[in-house]
Amino acid sequence: MRVFYSDQHHAHDPPGQFNVDRMGAYSECPGRATSILDALRKSSAHQIDPPADYETSILRTVHDDEYIRFLQEAWSVWSGTGWSIPLIPYTFAHRYALHQSADIIARAGYFGFDPQTPIVAGTFDAAWASARCALTAADLVRKGEPVAYALCRPPGHHAAADLYGGYCYLNNAALAAKKTGAKSAILDIDYHHGNGTQTIFYDDPDVFTSSIHAHPDREYPFYSGCETETGAGNQTNFNIPLPPDVDDDDYIAALGSALDRIDRFNPVTLIVSAGFDTYFADPLGDFNVGLEGFGRIGRCIRELGRPTVIVQEGGYHLEHLGECVDHFLGAWT
């Protein structure tokens, strides 16, 4: 398996996040990528390379100019006002917002949608390196490689064209889909709904989006992810919200429905937003997928027979995350 990874992710290491009742440890920590890297390095089946260079203008294929500018300059503007703590907005643009303030906290609250996604000194550089991993994997598949894996950190599926949150700043899977330049499908198997990806392609008839996730009645990101969200008139969005305690067999059944729909859409390329917070011991999720389950999920996706770009999303069990990824990728090796 061709794997793309950048050490640059270490530059994004927020000291904590605001949870329901207190500041806590930052779940989306550098140790996640280290866990995956360590597991993949144990096998000779993987060739791990740094990503290629691109012009940042390529981000405009998915993200708005003003949003990109905000991410690029947020830390320098924020630290220039005298702060050295992470930039976390304390107020957010709401349904009745009429004014877009130039204040840096207000800009963060305009483009951000939760207080769990801090911006620190290295955030943009890490997000950009993560995006380049996805772009490089997509380029390789576009040129004929049957499959490639982008070890992305930070993840991307919660980020929309002009919105960050859920530990995500740039939507790596969406950038990969655009980079393939062909009719494509994005299958999101992270525990959480891929709200950013859905929003980006909601009215695009050339990109089919499907997400299997915890029902938004009980789980983040709460405001989307239902079966009724089928795309802007074109039936190219397919959500499968699930109850707690989903086991391997339950998950494979849901996956079968998503793969049937994708097969009927007949994409040239498949992008997999691969999250592993569906793991039974993951601290953020309530599903019960086991290590063998990830191998089965991988084999089902492989049987679809499409050129496939695998993009790393969530997964927070530091000790076993790498093994989860290795079992999944094992379907292709």
Nearest Cα to Cα of residue 128 among 227, 41, 6:
6
Does 89 interact with Zn ion (rule: CB under 5 A)? no
| Residue with the shortest CB distance to Zn ion | 314
Q: Which of 167, 191, 201, 220 binds Zn ion (CB under 5 A)?
A: 191
Q: Which is nearer to Zn ion, 9 or 107 (CB)?
A: 9
Catalytic residue among 9, 158, 317, 320: 158
Binding segment (CB under 5 A) for Zn ion, from list 87-95, 99-107, 182-190, 265-273 = 182-190
Q: Tell me, residue by residue from 296 to 325, as one string, x for binding to Zn ion by CB under 5 A and - for no binding.
A: ------------------x-----------
Report the C-alpha dihedral over residues 43, 131, 279, 286, rounded to 10 degrees: 170
Read off the DSSP letter of residue 245.
T
154 binds Zn ion, rule: CB under 5 A: no
Position among 28, 248, 277, 323 found at the interface with Zn ion (CB under 5 A): 277
Near Zn ion in 23-42, by CB under 5 A? none
From residue 176, alpha-carbon distances to 111, 118, 157, 197, 325 in Å are 22, 24, 12, 11, 19
Residues 6+ apart with CB under 8 A from 80: none
Handedness of CA 272, 316, 279, 5 (dihedral sign): positive
Q: Is 193 a catalytic residue?
A: no
Residue closer to Zn ion, measured from CB, 114 or 277: 277
**Pairwise CA distance, residues 254 & 225, whole Å:** 14
Residue 138 beta carbon to Zn ion: minimum distance, rounded to whole angstroms: 21
- Which of the ranges 168-176, 237-245, 250-258, 277-285 carries the binding residues for Zn ion, by CB under 5 A? 277-285
Instruction: Give how far the C-alpha of residue 316 lies from the chain's centroid of Cα atoms, to the nearest Å.
Output: 13
Q: Which residues bind Zn ion (CB under 5 A)?
A: 190-192, 275, 277, 314
